[in-house]
Amino acid sequence: MFNNDLIFVLDKDYDLNINYKNEKVNLPWSIKEKIQKNWEENGEKFTNGDIFYINRYDINEKDKMIKMDICNSTYDHYLYTRLKKEYDEYSCVNLWSGAVLETADKKLVLGRMSFQTVCEGELHISGGSTDKKDLNGKTIDYKKTMVRELYEEMGIDINDKNVVKDYFIKYLKLPSTKEVELSFGILYKINLNITFEELENNFNKYIKYLKDNVLEVEFTKIYGIDKTKKGIEETKEKYGNRIPAYTIELFLKECEEN
């Protein structure tokens, strides 16, 4: 199930078939005990809510078909997998959706995660886990996830034509033991009508609003990375392992278009 590659490039002809079953993953008692112990040690600042667990997925490049079987698990299972890195058939592979933002002046955008998240201090693209709020019957609306996270983290309304030029699904982030977490991401590309300076000004106003109203801040700062191989390599050297490996691979694939 795990891959060497982190990023898979999609085109418009791919069919993404997600099969959701409203049943909880069955774990042996030995794993449940480890999950509980890890939660007692590391779960104090988190809420143990429901998450989606990817039981199986398959990418058929010939027929351009991606199939995914999903059931339910809980955040303590995800946290255990992420912190302990004991990758096996019981590892929690969660489903998330996010976006690669490119500004009008060719900057790729990263946000610094707040202390309230398990990724504290890391630099990430906008995105987050799908959950039951994103269910439409038996269908998981991963676009809804992306839209929600984009607004919560950066204050961007996807329907604001003054800010957002266009958007479309472009990548899959694949589970890989190169990473500290075994996640599967459905990633959109969003082209903005505004420069990074304008985006940063809007973001700072949004963060002030969140703080003034005692609301959760997920990104504490944003960064504009030059959409060049040199710019990305310099960013990797400067921030090191604070940037996930998939993000570097993702940004380099964006540069290949230039």
Query: What is the tens place of the pLDDT at every residue in 187-230?
Result: 999 999 999 999 999 999 999 999 999 999 999 999 999 999 99
Question: How far apart are alpha carbons 144 and 150 in whole angstroms?
Answer: 10
Q: Is the pLDDT of residue 2 over 60?
A: no
Length, in residues, of the chain:
258
User: Alpha-carbon distance 245 to 6, whole Å?
Assistant: 8
Mean per-residue pLDDT of the chain: 91
pLDDT tens for residues 9-54?
Answer: 998 889 999 989 999 999 999 999 999 999 999 998 888 988 898 9
Taking the mean position of all CA atoms in its chain, how far away is CA 23?
23
Q: Global pTM?
A: 0.91
Whether the CB-CB separation of 201 and 170 falls below 8 Å is answered with no
Q: What are the E-state strand segments in the chain?
A: 7-9, 15-24, 50-60, 65-74, 95-102, 107-113, 123-124, 126-129, 135-136, 139-140, 164-173, 184-192, 219-226
Which residue, 231, 235, 256, is CA-closest to 245? 235
- Determine the average pLDDT of the residues in 91-100: 93
Identify whether the C-beta of residue 182 lies closer than 8 Å to the C-beta of residue 73.
no
Confidence of residue 258 (pLDDT cuts 50, 70, 90): low
Encode pLDDT of 101-130 as tens digits: 999 999 999 999 998 777 889 999 999 999
Residues 71, 27 contacting (CB under 8 angstroms)? no
What residue has token string 């976006």? 99
CB-count exposure of residue 108 (10 Å: 0-12, 13-18, 19+): buried
Q: What is the pLDDT of residues 141-171, one digit of tens each?
A: 999 999 999 999 999 999 999 999 999 999 9
Instruction: Say how far apart CA 154 and CA 164 lie, in whole Å.
Output: 13
